[in-house]
Amino acid sequence: MKTVLRNGRILAGEDFRDDVAVLIDDGRIVALAAADDPQLAAADEVVDLGGGWLMPGFIDVQVNGGGGVLFNNRTDVEALRTMMAGHRRYGTTGMLPTLISDDAGVMARALQAIRDAIAAQVPGVLGIHLEGPYIAPARKGTHDAGKFRVPDADEVQMVTSLDNGITLITLAPERVPAATIQQMVANGAIVAAGHTAATYEEIRAGLDAGLTGFTHLYNAMSPLQGRDPGTVGAALEDAGSWCGVIVDGVHVHPASLRVALAAKPRGKVFLVTDAMPMVGSDNPAFELYGEVITAVDGVVRNAAGALAGSALDMVTAVRNTVKLLGLPLAEAARMASTYPAQFLGLGDRYGQIAAGYQADFVLLDRDLQVQATWIAGQRD
């Protein structure tokens, strides 16, 4: 069925345009066309966007939970469906459900759940993010250090076995041999540094071995200092790598985020939520490693006071990027869609409103509140 989206401010290229309509057919964008273009007349459905902001659907590569579900506690297809539905309310049309450090058996079940969800065409599930357990005790955050280990050859094969989606692995490069990182990358995984106490030199070695990203920049990693650049210094210096950032006003000071944006080439910093189950749920509490954790005033901490993920959603991250960092809405939207798609190697199919791309959109009103989403041309 051919559908036309018209009368909106459409993010096409560098900025928003109000002189084009979007033609969709079979889940993909066929064309951006002038309102009087004859090919639009053949549409089966015309949707009036009411002057709203139409952007590429948001892509979140770090989603621990949503809709009341924590992925570590529910490694099944219905849990993934619930998580995705919880985040779709806030503009997310693609995500990597994220499993934090756990036992090999839980990891294997999580991978199978992702494989099954993608095979069942659960909307929005693009792959998996394994955040740990190959990380540093000194920068563990809320992760259980009792789960930490160095993967052997069999485990490397297991964690890179997803054959129908993206695999992102966050690890501490000082804990994992370079040859192991190289094998993960050779097996098709994307590898990022995070929860790491690495020196600058150790991060450089990790980049040489195949690291291409940094997980929640500034958080749970060795800081930039004058005589010790650490992980942050290496991340900011390296032009080829990507950095995910949590723009909630809690995890990172806005000035530090502006420094990252100034240091990195445009397009190499993107938004993540690091969301926990309360996003898309009325319940502010969840259980992790047997401990009940509750969000207080929107901030999620464990009993020891460590930040334990966030209660952030993607549309709020976009609003915060405009308000706290002073970026134009178009660039904030790209940080939530175009740039994460490129990081995942999906930039030729997702993250833009252009002919040939999947028809994933989010429609915002003048207050930047979500009015509707589409995944593969299907409206929520």
CATH topology agreement for domains 2-55+355-379 and 58-343? no
Which residues are designated catalytic? 274
Instruction: Please give the Cα distance from 73 to 112 (Å, whole number).
Output: 14
pLDDT of res. 124: 98
Does residue 143 have a known ligand-binding role?
no
Mean pLDDT by 10 residues, the chain (380 residues): 96 95 97 90 93 98 98 98 98 98 98 98 98 98 96 98 98 98 98 98 98 98 98 98 97 98 98 97 93 91 89 98 98 98 98 98 97 97
How are beta strands 285-288 and 291-296 bridged, if at all? antiparallel
CATH class of 2-55+355-379: mainly beta
Helix, strand, coil share (%) of the chain residues, nearest 5: 30, 30, 40
Residue 216 labeled ligand binder: yes
Taking the model in full, what pTM does it have?
0.98
Dihedral sign from CA coordinates of 280, 282, 287, 291: positive
What pLDDT shows up at residue 39? 85
**Structural domain spans, the chain:** 2-55+355-379, 58-343
First and final C-alpha spacing in the chain: 16
* Residue 52 assigned as binding residue: no
**Choices 3.20.20.140, 3.40.190.170, 1.10.8.60, 1.10.10.1100: CATH for 58-343:** 3.20.20.140
